[in-house]
Amino acid sequence: MLLGSTGSIGVNVLNIVRAHPDRYRIVGLAAGKRVETLAEQMREFAPRIVSVAGEDDADRLRDAVGDGVRVVTGEGGMVEVATTDGADLVFAAVVGAAGLPATWAAVDAGRPVALANKETLVMSGRLILDLARRRGVTLMPVDSEHSAIFQSLVGHNRDEIRRIILTASGGPFRGRSAASLKSVTRDEALAHPTWKMGPKITIDSATLMNKGLEVIEARWLFDAAPERIDVVIHPESIVHSMVEFRDGQVIAQLGMPDMRGPIGYALSYPERLTDVMPRLDLTKVGRLHFDAVDAEAFPCLNLAYQALRGAPDAPAVLNAANEVAVDAFLDGRIAFLDIARVAARTLETASGREVSGLSDVMEADAGARRAAMTYAQQLADGDADA
């Protein structure tokens, strides 16, 4: 099952499936509103079930491909795809909080999950991992950073870890001061120098919120306290992350900046596929650089640490606020630096109440979205106190 089949990760998953028809078969697909792309995928991969955003999208899809495939819609439809029998793996690649319910349902149904939807762990880290343990389910990380950490830990005991070091490209504004970012345009923020990603993740990379969310992911995936997770800027994006052990030695995972590597590893683990991505030639790369994060210019990273140390619902609140703020920036309603302002202000609304299930997580998400929309609108209206 592939959730998020029309996004950049989903397309790369299908590229690997296409190259290995003897190993993989698509049972189900879930997408949003890119009906034409989904119709092409259906004709090629012949899934049994497909999910789209709404009934109008479903009608368009049926018109394009006929009635031979079960088409379902909305959040419930994505859940149905994720829990349909016949799949050995659910590949969760939906961007944002929208991917959490289906990923949760897959785990609850006992399906192994390749996790490219970072929001699942950001919003419900302890809960989803507890559920996975109870169901005997494996969560395989797909983010390049977490895949790198996972690979670096193979054959090592986790109680020997001193520090996890996440690398960040620095995005398009590496080295820029906070003052210079006041007039950043949408096109400038979307011009990532290294990775090809969707617009939301690309903006998150520009603000370093993406790295903050990855810190929260790493905290849960590798049972590491926040103070044992560091971030360094590495513009070449060749070292995907590192693990420092208690004896002072560091193991790093290197490769070209190409998501087909971690995707292929998640699909084939514990084996490795052949020639999934371009080979790394360090003589052509030349030098590798590492720098500290400028916390003043990129405050979103510290917001993630603040959320981890805050109320139980704080990470879900931060994630929701960021999604609202990024949408507002992409729509031209708020400025680039306002993304962090909306996130920080909304984070203050975290309730402090215990989060014990999916409904609590989604309630925190909904409340944070309402608050973030209010703050974003105030900024759009020129309210300097927002």
If asked whether residues 54 and 186 sit together in one domain, one would say: no
Say if residue 385's pLDDT is above 80.
no
Residue-wise pLDDT tens digits, 349-377: 998 878 999 999 999 999 999 999 999 99
Q: How far apart are CA 147 and CA 169, in angstroms?
A: 16
Structure tokens at 349: 């609304």
Q: Could you tell me if 163 and 287 are in contact, meaning their C-beta atoms sit under 8 angstroms apart?
A: no
Say if residue 141's pLDDT is above 70.
yes
Per-residue pLDDT, 386: 55
DSSP string, 17-59: HHH-TTT----EEE-SS-HHHHHHHHHHH--SEEEESSHHHHH
If asked whether residues 165 and 295 sit together in one domain, one would say: yes
Residue 310's pLDDT band, with cuts at 50, 70 and 90, is very high
Strands 229-233 and 2-3: unpaired
How many domains does one find in the chain? 3
Q: Which one, of 85, 86, 106, 84, lies nearest residue 94 by Cα? A: 106
Residue-wise pLDDT tens digits, 29-38: 999 999 999 9
Residue 193's pLDDT band, with cuts at 50, 70 and 90, is confident
Start-to-end C-alpha separation, the chain: 43
Query: CATH number, domain at 374?
Result: 1.10.1740.10
3-state secondary structure (DSSP) of residue 292? coil
If asked whether residues 199 and 250 sit together in one domain, one would say: yes
**Structural domain contains residue 272:** no
Structure tokens at 172: 């398009």
If asked whether residues 305 and 329 sit together in one domain, one would say: no
Structural domain range at position 113: 2-141
If asked whether residues 231 and 291 sit together in one domain, one would say: yes
Query: CATH number, domain at 69?
Result: 3.40.50.720
Place of tokens 């990855």: 214
3-state secondary structure (DSSP) of residue 367? helix
Residue 351 burial class via C-beta count within 10 angstroms: exposed 0-12, middle 13-18, buried 19 and up: middle
